[in-house]
């Protein structure tokens, strides 16, 4: 695994020269517009990077984009890998590990999620303060890669407290509500039944989605600081469950997108 990671990292470094990204950003479903705010320096298709998985979901285009955001050097994953696509957990987190080898110290993650907290509304943003892993596996199963991190990584503060507080201030200054809560990660790809939404709510989650937690586990294993945020694209509270199709999710995410871009950009500026 280390050899594969190093081979991919070396390949990328040959393309980007001394552009060493400080921060990594993973853009979720319908949340790709942050790329328009980047001053792009390099763009590399996943397909052109050795050992990189290739994205299969149509709503995700697969590219690593290097550029400046708020005058800081960032690498953006445009399109992520989901367990439900058939990738292994190691494949899902492969790009995050490559980011670490490139020198990235902080990871910003976005996703689309179903809202479970009755105080939430469609197109709200929720800062993730903690998570519950309901995926059937995780990327640290197997022999520990000691070069990356410890066998039993601590998860008592997976989401950086300081960045959470700063995000709240950024939203307040910009005049919009930013929800906070616990994100449960499920395998998908089907959305939840009403009983499943209720079950995940009882477990203690405020939102539910199909991503993020594997990447966060890998990032924390390697000691990266993490900030994650969900766009609430549909509601899973008993009175507000509706039939959901991907176009509804994309529409709701598009409404939340400019606020999400603002938060990530301002956090990067202050980081």
Interface with ligand HPA (CB under 6 A): 112-114, 191-192, 208-210, 233-234, 236, 249
Q: Give the CA radius of gyration of the chain.
A: 17
Task: Tell me the closest approach of the beta carbon of residue 249 to ligand HPA, in angstroms.
Answer: 5
Least distance from C-beta 18 to ligand HPA, angstroms?
Answer: 38
Q: Which is nearer to ligand HPA, 123 or 233 (CB)?
A: 233
Nearer to ligand HPA, 207 or 224 (CB): 207
Cα separation values, 83 from 163, 177, 188, 192, 211, Å: 27, 31, 8, 16, 8
CB of 65 to ligand HPA, least distance (A): 23
Work out how close the CB of 233 gets to ligand HPA at its nearest, in angstroms, rounded to a whole number: 5
DSSP per-residue string spanning 191-217: ---HHHHHHHHHHT-SEEESSSHHHHH
What's the min distance (Å) between Cβ of 236 and ligand HPA? 5
Tell me which long-range contacts 187-191 makes (C-beta under 8 A, separation of at least 24): 187/83, 187/84, 187/134, 187/135, 187/136, 188/82, 188/83, 188/84, 189/82, 189/84, 191/114, 191/234, 191/244
β-pair type (106-115, 225-235):
parallel
Q: Which is nearer to ligand HPA, 148 or 207 (CB)?
A: 207
Q: How far is the CB of 211 from ligand HPA (least distance, A)?
A: 8
What pairs with residue 75 in β-bridges?
24, 66
Cα distance between residue 187 and residue 209, in whole Å: 8
> Which residue's CB is nearer to ligand HPA, number 79 or number 114?
114
Question: In this chain, which residue has its C-beta nearest to ligand HPA?
Answer: 114
Q: d(Cα 93, Cα 185) in Å, to the nearest integer? A: 15
> Which lies closer to ligand HPA via its Cβ, residue 18 or residue 195?
195
- Beta carbon nearer to ligand HPA, 70 or 254: 254
Quote the CA–CA distance of 216 and 158 in Å, as a whole number: 8
């Amino acid at each position: 695994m280390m050899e594969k990671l190093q081979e991919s990292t070396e390949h990328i470094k040959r393309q980007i020269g001394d552009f060493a990204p400080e921060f990594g950003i993973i853009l979720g479903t319908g949340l790709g517009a942050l790329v328009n705010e980047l001053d792009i320096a390099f763009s590399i298709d996943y397909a052109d990077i050795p050992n990189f998985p290739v994205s299969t979901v149509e709503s995700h285009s697969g590219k690593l984009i290097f550029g400046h955001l708020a005058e800081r050097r960032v690498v953006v994953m445009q399109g992520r890998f989901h367990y439900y696509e058939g990738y292994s957990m190691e494949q899902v987190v492969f790009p995050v590990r490559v980011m670490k080898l490139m020198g990235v110290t902080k990871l910003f993650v976005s996703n689309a999620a179903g809202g479970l907290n009755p105080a939430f509304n469609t197109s709200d943003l929720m800062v993730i303060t903690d998570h519950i892993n309901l995926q059937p596996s995780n990327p640290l199963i197997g022999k520990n890669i000691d070069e990356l991190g410890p066998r039993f990584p601590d998860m008592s503060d997976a989401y950086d407290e300081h960045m959470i507080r700063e995000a709240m201030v950024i939203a307040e200054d910009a005049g919009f509500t930013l929800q906070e809560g616990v994100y449960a990660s499920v395998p998908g790809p089907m959305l939840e039944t009403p009983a499943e939404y209720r079950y995940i709510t009882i477990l203690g989650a405020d939102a539910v989605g199909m991503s993020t937690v594997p990447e966060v586990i890998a990032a924390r294993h390697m000691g990266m600081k993490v900030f994650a945020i969900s766009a609430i694209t549909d509601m899973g509270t008993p009175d507000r469950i509706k039939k959901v199709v991907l176009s509804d999710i994309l529409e709701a995410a598009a409404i939340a997108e400019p606020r999400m871009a603002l938060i990530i950009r301002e956090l990067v500026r202050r980081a």
